[in-house]
Structure 1
Amino acid sequence: MTVLDVLDVLVVVAVPLMGLAGGTFWAFSTGVMPGLRRTDDDTFVTVMRSINRAVLNPLFLVPIFLSPLLLAWAAFLELGGPRGLLLLSAALVYFVGAVVVTLVGNVPLNNALDGSVSASKDARAAFERRWNILNGIRSGASVAAITLAIAALTHGPGTS
C-alpha cells in the first residue's frame, strides 16, 4: 500500500465518522431539541440528563474524537500540497468546531445540568439556549470539515 493509498483510506474512514457525529449534532438541532422545546421544564431536564449520560459510549465518542486524528495523519502524509492544506483545514475546522466546542462548551453545560439542584425552570434556562447555539456550531463545523475532506479526495494525484 502506498502513501497515497493510506491517505485515501484515512480520509474515506474519517468522512463517514464525521458524518455520524455531525448527523447526531444535526438530529439534535432539527428534531430532538425542537421536540423537547415543547415539553415542560421537568421533562426537559429529566430527558436531557438521561441523554447526556447515555451518550457517553464508544458509538458516540469514537466518531467524534477519531475523525480529526485521521485527518491530521492524512494531512501529514500530504504536507505541502493542495490536498494536505485541505486535509489540515478539515482537521482543524472539525477539531475546533466539534471537539473543542464539545469539550469546553457542551460538556460543561451537560455537567452543570446534571448536578443542578435548582428548580427545573432555572436549570433549563441556564442550559437550553447556550447548548443549542454550541450544538449549531458543531453541526456547521462538521459539514464544513466533511466538505473540505471530500474536496481533498477530488484533488488527488492526476486531478486538477
Structure 2
Amino acid sequence: MELTDALAAVGLVLLALGGGTFWSFSTGVMPGLGRTDDPTFVASMRAINRAVVNPLFLLPIFLPPVFLVWAGLLALDSARGWLLATGGVVFFLGAVVVTVAGNVPLNNALDGSTTSAATTRAAFERRWNALNGVRSVASVVAIAVAVWALLV
C-alpha cells in the first residue's frame, strides 16, 4: 500500500465518522431534543456541548481534510488526486468552517446565556439545526467524492 492509499483510507474513515456524527444529530439527536421542553433542551445541549470537547469527537471533525488533501496533493497528476483533494476541501468548508464560525459560537452563547430557557432556545435551535444541516450535506458530498476517488 502506498502512502497516498493509506492517507486516503484514514481520511475516508475519519470523514465517515465525522459526517456520521453530523448526520446523527440531524436525524436523531436534534429531532429528539426538539420534543423536549425548553429547560430540558437547554440543559441537554449544554451537557452535550461540554461532553464533545474530547479527542474522540474532535479528531474525526478536524482531521479528514488534512488526510484527504495530503493524499490528493501526492496524486495531483491524476483524477484520483483531484477528487481526494476536492473531498477534503468540501468537508473543510462545509463542516470545519461552518463548525468553527457558526455552531461553536452558538454553543458558546447557549452555554453563557442568562436569559430564560425559552429565549435561549429560540436564539439557538433553528440556527444551529440549519448549520448542522449544511455540515451533514457537505459530509455526504465529501464522502461520495472521496469514495469516487478510490474507485477511479
TM-score calculated relative to the size of structure 1: 0.92
What does residue 90 of structure 1 align with? 87
Alpha-carbon offset, residue 151 of structure 1? 0.8
Aligned to 1:34: 31
Deviation at 1:145?
Answer: 0.6
Residue-by-residue CA offset, 1:23-60 (whole Å, 9 max, x unaligned): 11111111111111111100000000000000000001
Name the structure 1 match of 2:144: 147
After TM superposition, where is structure 1 displaced by more than 3 Å over at least 4 residues in a row?
none
Partner residue of 2:118?
A: 121
What's the Cα RMSD here? 0.9
Residue 129 of structure 1: how far off its partner (Å): 0.3
CA positional deviation for 1:80: 3.1
Answer with 78-87 or 55-64: which moved more: 78-87
Point out the structure with max Rg over C-alpha: 1
Superposition pairs for residues 13-92 of structure 1, below 5 Å?
Answer: 13-92=10-89
Q: Percent identity?
A: 62
The equivalent residue for 1:8 is 5
CA distance in 2, matches of 1:98, 1:88: 15
Gap runs ≥5 in structure 2: none
Q: Which amino acid aligns with 1:7?
A: T
Q: Identify the residue that residue 158 of structure 1 maps to in structure 2.
A: none
TM-score of the superposed pair, with normalisation by structure 2: 0.97
Equivalent residue for 2:101?
Answer: 104
Question: May I ask how many residue pairs the two structures share in their alignment?
Answer: 152
Identify unmatched segments of 5+ residues in structure 1.
Answer: 156-160
- Kept after mapping to 1: 8 A contact 2:103/2:132: yes
